[in-house]
Amino acid sequence: MINIIVLYPSTKHKAKNMNLKNKLVVTVAILAVMAVAFAPSAHAQTITTRTDQASYTPGGTGTLYITVVNPSSTDTLEIRNLTIYFPWAGFVDGKWASGGNVSYNLAPYKVLTTSGSPSGGNIFTYNTQFSIPSWFLSASSNCPGNTTTRYGIYARCLLLGTNTNGLRYESQSFTIVMASPTYNAPNFTEMLLPLGTFVVLVVVAALLFMMWTGIKRLETKKP
């Protein structure tokens, strides 16, 4: 006869395991709450750009206006630097394009108040002039998104450095509109007008010459 003996864990052992699991769950929950509480603020700021003209031509000049607004009603925003990569920025013909970017560092930092503050304390403005190269007509955007790299081969891109988002640079693409060259062929009426004017001038000149020669003949026939 074979005897089978089954050993069951004691109630005391079960309770000990349950207490250990409960402690682990509580510890994980506390760590999660602390991570959220101490995480850096990630509220987004509003960035807008505009130019002083609707469009430009190669070789022209203009001004770019930038406005940063802090929409948060609870957190201030600290602006530390601003980097602008114009559409013609980049590596051109083996060298960096002249006037392709602008780097502006704020010292001291500009602190934007919350959205409910008076006198527009939550708004930051900046403007810079630019000169468009004679060879430039259009370019696609090369904006990296939020990044830790401030200096790179970017184009049509604005990088804003603040105290939020883990000190990453928030990027914003922008456009400088270039006027496309056009050619309007003259119509038939426009061509007839200068041609008719030329014919009239020729006829008048011929009549004047005939009158002058006639007067000369009369003068020579006088006794």
From the CB of residue 69, how many other CB atoms can be counted at a distance below 10 Å? 17
The whole-number average pLDDT for the span 22-27 is 49
CA distance linking residue 214 with residue 207, whole number of Å:
11
The answer to whether residue 37 scores a pLDDT higher than 80 is no
Query: Comparing 13-17, 36-40, 75-79, 195-199, which segment has the lowest mean pLDDT?
Result: 36-40
Give pLDDT tens digits for 59-112: 999 999 999 999 999 999 999 999 999 999 988 788 888 899 999 999 999 999
Query: Comparing 52-66, 119-133, 170-184, which segment has the lowest mean pLDDT?
Result: 170-184
| pLDDT at 150 (0 to 100) | 94
CA distance linking residue 210 with residue 36, whole number of Å:
103
Q: What percent of the chain has pLDDT over 70?
A: 70
Count CA atoms closer than 13 A to 221's CA, side-chain side.
6
Instruction: Pick 220 or 112 by higher pLDDT.
Output: 112
CA distance linking residue 154 with residue 126, whole number of Å:
20
Query: Comparing 96-105, 143-152, 158-167, 186-195, which segment has the lowest mean pLDDT?
Result: 186-195
Residue 190 CB-density burial (10 A; 0-12 exposed, 13-18 middle, 19+ buried): exposed
* Architecture of the domain made up of 46-173: Sandwich (2.60)
Which amino acid would we find at residue 66?
I
Cis, peptide link before residue 108, omega less than 30° from 0 = yes
User: Which residues on neighbouring strands pair with residue 125, listed in sequence order?
Assistant: 67
Confidence of residue 173 (pLDDT cuts 50, 70, 90): very high
Confidence of residue 139 (pLDDT cuts 50, 70, 90): confident
For the chain, domain boundaries:
12-41, 46-173
Residue 71 CB partners (closer than 8 Å, separation 6+): 43, 44, 45, 46, 115, 122
The residue with tokens 């450095």 is 161
Mean pLDDT highest for which of 38-42, 99-103, 138-142, 209-213?
99-103
| pLDDT at 128 (0 to 100) | 97
pTM listed for this prediction: 0.63
The answer to whether residue 39 scores a pLDDT higher than 80 is no
